[in-house]
Structure 1
């Protein structure tokens, strides 16, 4: 078999150096990740200052954001397919910054949640646009590799964000976290305005009409790879949302080590970055299906072992960090590959397809994560069961999607954009 062709920046429609393109797409993805992870150390202080009486309700600062993020994706796909990627990106980065500043000055928990919801709604564009822009320029295994590289750079955010949040809280009130979020979104918007050309060719733009939206929705939902891998990804993502919702409470109330939260969170997130690096090196050679299907099976086995430890009362902080880190590593090998396979046949409607798939993933994932988080009662059992049930159902869906042919490649060579 011939070696995979290298990705060349000059062959892509973005016209940037490859490293700058990866950095910009990773930064765009990071706007959303930073909006979630930097908040985690501050949830207790926000709840105390704004009079939240039920501790689990503090999780709504994250859950409302993620829920609005899911709904917003339905809007940005058609807009990006009609008007192009660039104007939508610039407008939403401005709205995100504005909502950040409103949240910083919120005088009540209700107003904060409204601002967080609108912030998440604006952030939804980052998921739709990053995938659409990458799909405009790459496809197939190359898209999976580019996505993995972007994901690897982007994962520096969840590794560092909780520590950054704690650092801010050492010298300033929690409001300054929102100032930082607004400033970062403006930075990304300025970078895109100065350097990123429009990647959607005029002849590929689609009018906004009931007919065009219905056609794109039907094409996305009727394609078994699109809906199959999109739904499977959502089920696994639910476990991640559950971890984000309850992680601060787990460290504080289960293991009584809140001071180790930022360090352990960074180590756990670092395993996702390692997975993204490894995936970028092997996916063009081994294929998205072999890598992601193997990782999914391994995740189920890992969750079963972890469940035994939890039920027997043998889980320590060290074991929790190790098992959660390994779970995140396997999650990293499934996420970008599932996303690439879901988009394989969606080149002509990349924006709309990305928004629909993102909506499904976010809404299902948020619902599962909210159940996991609100079920927290002093143990890690809800989180463990969430990952086990989610990954098991995901495997069943992937098995049906591939009609029983797991691990087998469909294309042996990288493909070019549609």
Structure 2
């Protein structure tokens, strides 16, 4: 592992012959496979309903939730596999599965086959998310690693902003199957670029055993650490609120606010709040610390949830207020999720790959369960979402207060 001065754009020898700029670009491109496949589908949901004669709009949310289910479940195994066999074979295999799944979705004769293809897409993108982070960790450490992750995460965060608009443009030019043509081509390009240029970054001498006893021991260390499991539960609960927003966004903006084909613009303006949070966090986290920022954002999130619930319950939630509150929600989420993840992973450096997989599985599956529950209660009003959002914020705050023993905003210090 190479510790490089954060101010010097020097490429790590671990990823030669790639330059630093190409390395960042390829990591960002493979990480973007997941949010692209998720958010580009939003404008296509009504078209899928018409094509497969799905009358219940809430049922169409499964196109999104089953994708995330595959993504969450597969992460459980990706880390240990890549720690044992290396990054390249698992990553290339995951992207290949993603490409095959895109073809299956393109040719799907029924809604059930489409859901199966989406599940496989999610399984494939689990490798891109987990291993991309592992590769960065293999090549860099310290401030340089943080710099690389900030650059790649900016791309990762920007994709949900532009993907729905791109999907809407495709719907104006072609039918819903055109989306899977685009996803397939993007996957093939990412597969070729990775296969031809990205070297193996995990030396054989650093690979870990895949013996069941060793893997279970690493899992037990992860789930038994209060800081890791506590922040994982809090992050998963908050992610449930985010997933609920994504699952119902097309219905909310078209049925309640009557935006029609323009709803991707409103979605993009709201999602931009996460991008702002990422930039802000990178600039000030070293000054204030992860706990101070994330705890302050969590308290603010509770306040936003309370305002959203009050407005929805009283019937005064016009479009401008919903967008404003949703932007604040995304900004707070952006500050919390990255710092909660860092706090959860902080004690697990010796088993980072396995711990990252288990953490990803926990947060994703918990988020899906909560998000799907809230989404399925959509009734043509914003009250179910607002109620679920406020409940999620209160639950996350309670968990954080519990694991921090009531002492929020305290200086950075690893917990035992």
Interval containing the TM-score (normalised by the shorter chain)? over 0.9
8 Å contact from structure 1 (residues 303, 384) kept in 2: yes
Q: Which residue of 1 aligns with 2:253?
A: 251
CA, structure 1 residues 20+300, in 2 after alignment: closer, same or farther (shift >3 Å)?
farther
8 Å contact from structure 1 (residues 145, 279) kept in 2: no
CA, structure 1 residues 388+131, in 2 after alignment: closer, same or farther (shift >3 Å)?
farther
Partner Cα distance (1:25, 1:205) in 2: 21
Of 83, 87, 97 in structure 1, the residue corresponding to residue 99 of structure 2 is 97
CA, structure 1 residues 148+354, in 2 after alignment: closer, same or farther (shift >3 Å)?
same
Q: Which residue of 1 aligns with 2:209?
A: 207
- Structure 1 residue 153 displacement after superposition: 1.6
1:323-348 deviation per Cα after TM superposition (whole angstroms, max 9, x unaligned):
11110011111111111221112222
Q: Which residue of 2 aligns with 1:150?
A: 152
Partner Cα distance (2:365, 2:351) in 1: 21
8 Å contact from structure 1 (residues 149, 280) kept in 2: no
Q: Which residue of 2 aligns with 1:239?
A: 241
Cα RMSD, aligned residues only: 2.1
**Which runs of 5 or more structure 2 residues have no equivalent in the other structure?**
none
- Structure 1 residue 257 displacement after superposition: 1.8
Q: Which residue of 1 aligns with 2:320?
A: 318
- Structure 1 residue 32 displacement after superposition: 0.5
Partner Cα distance (1:38, 1:136) in 2: 31
8 Å contact from structure 1 (residues 14, 197) kept in 2: yes
- Structure 1 residue 393 displacement after superposition: 1.4
Q: Which residue of 2 aligns with 1:415?
A: none
- Structure 1 residue 367 displacement after superposition: 0.4
Alignment of 1:228-377 (within 5 A): 228-377=230-379
Q: Which residue of 1 aligns with 2:75?
A: 73
TM-score (normalizing by structure 2): 0.93
CA, structure 1 residues 14+350, in 2 after alignment: closer, same or farther (shift >3 Å)?
farther
**Which runs of 5 or more structure 1 residues have no equivalent in the other structure?**
413-418
- Structure 1 residue 304 displacement after superposition: 0.9
- Structure 1 residue 43 displacement after superposition: 0.5
Partner Cα distance (1:196, 1:276) in 2: 26
| Most deviating of 361-370 and 187-196 | 187-196
- Structure 1 residue 19 displacement after superposition: 4.1
1:232-267 deviation per Cα after TM superposition (whole angstroms, max 9, x unaligned):
110000011111110000011111222331100111
8 Å contact from structure 2 (residues 11, 19) kept in 1: no
TM-score (normalizing by structure 1): 0.92
CA, structure 1 residues 47+292, in 2 after alignment: closer, same or farther (shift >3 Å)?
same
1:182-236 deviation per Cα after TM superposition (whole angstroms, max 9, x unaligned):
1112222222223333232322211211111101111111122221111111000
Partner Cα distance (1:145, 1:295) in 2: 22
CA, structure 1 residues 261+269, in 2 after alignment: closer, same or farther (shift >3 Å)?
same
8 Å contact from structure 1 (residues 234, 362) kept in 2: yes
1:110-144 deviation per Cα after TM superposition (whole angstroms, max 9, x unaligned):
11011111111111112211232233345677655
Specify the SS of the correspondent of 1:410: coil
Partner Cα distance (1:21, 1:389) in 2: 41
CA, structure 1 residues 404+145, in 2 after alignment: closer, same or farther (shift >3 Å)?
farther
8 Å contact from structure 2 (residues 6, 147) kept in 1: no
